[in-house]
Every structure is written in structure tokens, then in C-alpha cells.
Amino acid sequence: MSEKTETTERLSVFKTYKLYVGGKFPRSESGRVYEVTDAKGKWLANAPLSSRKDARDAVVAARKAFGAWSGATAYNRGQILYRVAEMLEGRREQFVREVADAEGLSKSKAAAQVSATIDRWVWYAGWTDKIAQVVGGGNPVAGPFFNLSSPEPTGVVAVLAPQESSFLGLVSVVAPVIATGNTAVVVASEKAPLPALSLGEVLATSDLPGGVVNVLSGRTAEIAAPLAAHQDVNAIDLAGADEDLAKELEIAAADNLKRVLRPQPVDYSATPGIDRLTAFLETKTVWHPTGSLGASGSSY
């Protein structure tokens, strides 16, 4: 202390980053952690090093949450996702700092990233009750039937978040998955997991039911292998896998005919379009008999 005052220097409050599984914040079942550094190699925090059992627990949580989340009205899902954006806005400072550290950006560039991320979240929140009109609808058929197609969520989706874009990339792959009613097990960027783990804290305070999004940190290859082979995972987004890993995971995923979204070069700052929304949708088509047409020519 430069001046002789009675004030003492404050002890720093280190944050213990934890996983986000089933609405709770557990440590890794294995008890392991690994060191997370900033872009220059300076230590930032210890993050949990998840094991395959954490992956299994996350899938159980995601499956449990699927019924209620997919059954919620699209409007309600939209409201909840918008609420997430509101909460993100309130934590701006923290995310700017974490993104700047993780990606080695200046404060203003990091702030721009965070703004883009929040906007991205709002953008997907708006899609929840509109996607059905775009990819579903009434089909003209030759017969006395109503024929309706409606998009249905695929189920539990394993999401390997992009390795480089720790926050904008993360949200760009997670938000479309849950917007349509899927539940997600997210494997955070291996070397920059902190924004993802903090996102868990935001989700926990946003009315998002526990288990809809589960965030795991650790070695992507280690966690992704059991997820890709897991019989109760319905789809996998390989955005964060390199070429060799992606091939391996796609082979494992073929076993129970998972939907696979292959890694592709993406500019996360560009407007995303609805490809990621439709990647994890299935189409249910209903034939509804209208009965014989009356004398007047129409029964409805």
C-alpha cells in the first residue's frame, strides 16, 4: 500500500467454474480439472475435465427435460429464450472480459462479439414460433384429406461447440438446437470453455428448465466419443471436431442412425439463415380424413 491508511488489500475471490448439468452445477464426476489459459498463455482458471460418465449423466438430464421442453408452446419457448438474452445483457461486462481473455481480443472487439452474440440469441428466440410456418404447412393432395406437415424436434442433440469462436460460435450452435424444442448436451470449446460455463449460469437464471442445455468442459475427443456412440442421443453437431475426429464420430454415430451435422467452414458473424434450425427437425405428416364431400361440394 502506498499510503499509510488502515485499508487492507482485498483478497481476490477466485471463481470455481463448474459444469452445468440438469439445472445444477456439479464438478466433474471424475474430480479432474485442467488449466485454462488466455490467448497469451496466462492462467485464467481451472475448468472441470469431464469424463464419459459426466457425458452419460448429461444425456440422462437432457432426455428427462425433453418431454416438457418439446411440449412447451413455441411462443413460450420464444419468451424463455428472449429472457436468456435479457440475462446475457445484464452480464455483459463479465462476458466481454471472458471473451477478450479467451480469444485475445481488445476490449472493444470483445464487446462487439458479445453484442453480436446477444443479438444472435434474440434472433433465434424470434424463430421459435415462425419456423413451423416456413418448413411446415398444408399439402395439397388428391383425395378427401387434410394433409399437414409439421416440424418436430429430433430429441437429444450432442453439440460440439466451435473451438475458435468461444461465445458467438457457441451460441450460434446451441440456440438453434433448443429453439425448435430439442434438448442439448454441449461440449464447450476445449481451450476456451469459460464463456460456455458462464453461459450455464445465465441459463440457470432464465426460466430455462434444467436439463434443456447441459454444458460440459474438457477434452472434446474424450467426451464426444461416448456421446457419438450413445444410443439415447438422437443427433450430433460436429462443429467443434477436426477432420479426423469428425470422421471417427460419424462412424460411431451411424450405429443408431443419429442425425449428423458435419463440420463446415462458417462465418459466425454473418446472418446464419435457418439451416441450423432445420438440421435438427423432423417432419411429421398427418393425413386427416375430411369425410365424403357433401351435396354442396364441400364438407368444410
Q: Is 231 in the site for other proteins (CB under 8 A)?
A: yes
Interface map 233-252 toward other proteins (x if CB under 8 A): x------------------x
Q: Residues touching other proteins: how many (CB under 8 A)?
A: 11
3-state secondary structure (DSSP) of residue 108: helix
Tell me the C-alpha to C-alpha distance, in Å, between residue 187 and each of 58, 67, 70, 77, 219.
10, 22, 21, 23, 9
> Which of these ranges, 36-44, 55-63, 69-77, 82-90, lies near other proteins under the rule CB under 8 A?
55-63
CB 146 within 8 Å of CB 198: no
Edge-to-edge strand list for the sheet holding 145-153: 137-138, 145-153, 281-289
DSSP assignment letter at 239: T
| Minimum distance, C-beta of residue 229 to other proteins, in the bound complex (Å) | 4
CB 153 within 8 Å of CB 181: yes
3-state secondary structure (DSSP) of residue 288: strand
Q: Is 59 in the site for other proteins (CB under 8 A)?
A: yes
Of 195 and 226, the one with the shorter C-beta distance to other proteins is 226
Q: CB count, 10 Å around CB of 133?
A: 9
Q: Is 105 in the site for other proteins (CB under 8 A)?
A: no
User: Measured between alpha carbons, how far is 123 from 202 in angstroms, rounded to an integer?
Assistant: 18
User: Measured between alpha carbons, how far is 7 from 271 in angstroms, rounded to an integer?
Assistant: 51
Interface map 191-230 toward other proteins (x if CB under 8 A): -----------------------------------x--xx
| Minimum distance, C-beta of residue 63 to other proteins, in the bound complex (Å) | 7
User: Measured between alpha carbons, how far is 202 from 196 in angstroms, rounded to an integer?
Assistant: 10
Of 86 and 232, the one with the shorter C-beta distance to other proteins is 232
Q: Which of 35, 86, 242, 255 binds other proteins (CB under 8 A)?
A: 255
Q: Is 258 in the site for other proteins (CB under 8 A)?
A: no
Q: Is 35 in the site for other proteins (CB under 8 A)?
A: no
Q: Which of 119, 207, 232, 242 binds other proteins (CB under 8 A)?
A: 232
| Minimum distance, C-beta of residue 156 to other proteins, in the bound complex (Å) | 9
For other proteins, the binding residues (CB under 8 A) are 56, 59, 63, 226, 229-233, 252, 255
